[in-house]
């Protein structure tokens, strides 16, 4: 089969021929149709410090996918050949206290497909049946291929009650933009999204009903006044990983505000924690998505009117993967989807 592989410990990914994976009794074999390129894949392409420390070579990359089940292991009774599906890319252990309490997303022994174990950028993927999420007919393969990052957005957005709340999102990347759409769907009042990239702000406005704010040129205090909010934002979602954005967010929050942190800072940075104390702010770190509650919620929201389709800005046949990665690396696109059937 064709597979997009980190074949050498240096920059780049290579399209190679690999054997179709053999499945175990509890696995399924999925024929991949569409895949999404994630920031993680860019780290692996660039072979940065994190990737060098984390990813063994050779590794088939990729974890955002949609496909169809073409083989089931002998212990798998609840999935059928031909079932369209996406799936959770975190492979969990079942013995930790967290897993045994049903909090699978908090299992400390989690391994990621496309990072620690062979991934989804290939014609076929072996996945534990446990991780499979069937796709209803009204959810396309394109959307199926971005359910993983939509799950990050949904898990973050649903961290706090949003109904009637004023929400600030810092970072209008694909996840920030999808979080804005989710916040609207969940009944938030004012939703403001900041970025320093005007292309990203324009995309945010196209995808979601939000107020875009250029953090480089506009002051959030003026935005709060303009929108006639009394003190500031009730809920914040940090989705840029940028320290300056978090600083601005804390300043713009109400007393007793709640902040969910998804963005991953690239390095340690000093932070004035006294503002968190004096504003009595609650901060929640968010990792991944809840297995499988977030999957249930996001599919249900998509079926009840949540529309994130316009966040996919580029589609390429997989043989043009270089153009796909260049498009992502340029930093102004939404989601880039690769077609493995073309
Ligand atoms: P992205 O890099 O595409 O988007 C981040 C955006 O933040 C960019 O558009 C950038 O211009 C913007 N930004 C930079 N400085 C800013 C500032 N000062 N103010 C406002 N915006 C600023 O990333 P993404 O794929 O949308 O993911 C969002 C974040 O979530 C990233 O940091 C990513 O690493 C992280 N992430 C975390 C998890 C998790 O499980 N915690 C999972 C996926 C992604
Ligand atoms: Zn991803």
Interatomic CA distance for residues 267 and 170, integer angstroms: 18
CATH number for the segment(s) 153-285: 3.40.50.720
pLDDT at 305 over 90: yes
CA of 171 to the centre of ligand 1 (A): 5
Q: What is the pTM of this model?
A: 0.97
* Banded pLDDT at 14 (limits 50, 70, 90): very high
Q: Return the ligand 1 atom nearest residue 38 CA.
A: 25
pLDDT in tens, 220-250: 999 999 999 989 999 999 999 999 999 999 9
Interatomic CA distance for residues 132 and 122, integer angstroms: 17
The residues facing 17 across adjacent strands are 2
Interatomic CA distance for residues 223 and 194, integer angstroms: 11
> Does an H or E element contain 271, and which?
none
The answer to whether 2-146+308-339 and 153-285 have equal CATH topology is: no
Mutation to probe ligand 1, out of 43, 89, 150, 195 (largest number of atoms < 8 A from CB): 195
By CB atoms closer than 10 A (0-12, 13-18, 19+), residue 216 is: exposed
Ligand lying closest to the C-alpha of residue 212 = 1
Ligand lying closest to the C-alpha of residue 120 = 2
> Hey, whose CA ends up nearest to atom 23 of ligand 1?
173
The whole-number average pLDDT for the span 186-209 is 98
% residues pLDDT > 90 (the chain): 98
* Banded pLDDT at 4 (limits 50, 70, 90): very high
pLDDT at 270 (0 to 100): 87
Looking at residue 281, the DSSP 8-state letter turns out to be -
CA of 62 to the centre of ligand 2 (A): 8
pLDDT at 40 over 90: yes
pLDDT at 329 over 90: yes
Q: Are 144 and 66 in contact (CB under 8 A)?
A: yes
Q: Return the ligand 1 atom nearest residue 243 CA.
A: 18
Interatomic CA distance for residues 210 and 217, integer angstroms: 18
| Residues assigned a catalytic role | 40, 43
Whole-number average pLDDT of the chain: 97
Phi-psi map region of 134: left, alpha, beta (phi>0 left; psi -120 to 50 alpha): beta
Ligand lying closest to the C-alpha of residue 40 = 2
pLDDT in tens, 156-193: 999 999 999 999 999 999 999 999 999 999 999 999 99
Interatomic CA distance for residues 118 and 29, integer angstroms: 13
| Ordered DSSP codes for 214-273 | ETTT--HHHHHHHTT-SSSEEEEEE-S--HHHHHHHHHHEEEEEEEEE----SS-----T
Interatomic CA distance for residues 63 and 156, integer angstroms: 19
Domain boundaries, the chain: 2-146+308-339, 153-285
The whole-number average pLDDT for the span 252-264 is 98
Q: Return the ligand 1 atom nearest residue 39 CA.
A: 25
Query: What does the block give as tokens for 5?
Result: 């592989």
* Banded pLDDT at 267 (limits 50, 70, 90): confident
CATH class, domain 2-146+308-339, is alpha beta
Query: What does the block give as tokens for 20?
Result: 């179709």
pLDDT at 113 (0 to 100): 98
Q: Are 279 and 255 in contact (CB under 8 A)?
A: yes
The whole-number average pLDDT for the span 27-40 is 98
% residues pLDDT > 70 (the chain): 100
Contact residues of ligand 1, CB 6 A cut-off:
39, 152, 170-176, 194-197, 200, 215, 239-242, 244-245, 262-264, 286-288
Predicted ipTM > 0.95: yes
The whole-number average pLDDT for the span 215-224 is 98
């Amino acid at each position: 089969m064709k597979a997009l592989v980190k074949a050498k410990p240096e920059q780049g990914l290579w399209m190679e021929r690999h054997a179709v994976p053999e499945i175990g009794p509890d696995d399924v074999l999925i024929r991949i149709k569409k895949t999404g390129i994630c920031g993680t894949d860019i780290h692996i392409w660039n072979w940065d410090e994190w990737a060098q420390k984390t990813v063994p070579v050779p590794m088939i990359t990729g974890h955002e996918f949609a496909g169809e089940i073409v083989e089931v292991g002998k212990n798998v009774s609840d999935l059928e050949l031909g079932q369209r599906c996406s799936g959770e890319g975190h492979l969990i252990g079942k013995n930790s206290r967290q897993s045994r309490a049903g909090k699978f997303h908090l299992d400390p022994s989690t391994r990621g497909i496309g990072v620690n174990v062979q991934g989804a950028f290939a014609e076929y993927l072996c996945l534990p049946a446990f991780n499979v999420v069937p796709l209803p007919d009204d959810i396309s393969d394109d959307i199926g291929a971005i359910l993983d990052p939509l799950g990050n957005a949904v898990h973050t957005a649903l961290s706090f009650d949003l109904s009637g709340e004023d929400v600030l999102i810092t970072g209008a990347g694909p996840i920030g933009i999808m979080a804005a759409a989710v916040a609207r769907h969940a009944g938030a009042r004012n939703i403001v999204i900041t970025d320093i990239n005007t292309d990203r702000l324009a995309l945010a406005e196209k995808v979601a009903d939000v107020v875009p704010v250029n953090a480089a040129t506009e002051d959030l205090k003026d935005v709060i006044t303009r929108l006639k909010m009394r003190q500031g934002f009730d809920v914040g979602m940090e989705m840029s990983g940028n320290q300056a954005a978090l600083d601005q967010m804390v300043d713009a929050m109400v007393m007793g505000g709640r902040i969910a942190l998804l963005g991953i800072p690239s390095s340690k940075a000093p932070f004035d924690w006294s503002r968190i104390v004096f504003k009595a702010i609650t901060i929640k770190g968010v990792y991944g998505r809840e297995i499988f509650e977030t999957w249930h919620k996001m599919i249900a929201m998509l079926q009840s009117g949540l529309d994130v389709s316009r966040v996919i800005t580029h589609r390429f046949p997989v043989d043009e993967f270089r153009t796909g990665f260049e498009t992502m690396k340029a930093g102004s696109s939404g989601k880039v989807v690769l077609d493995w059937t073309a």
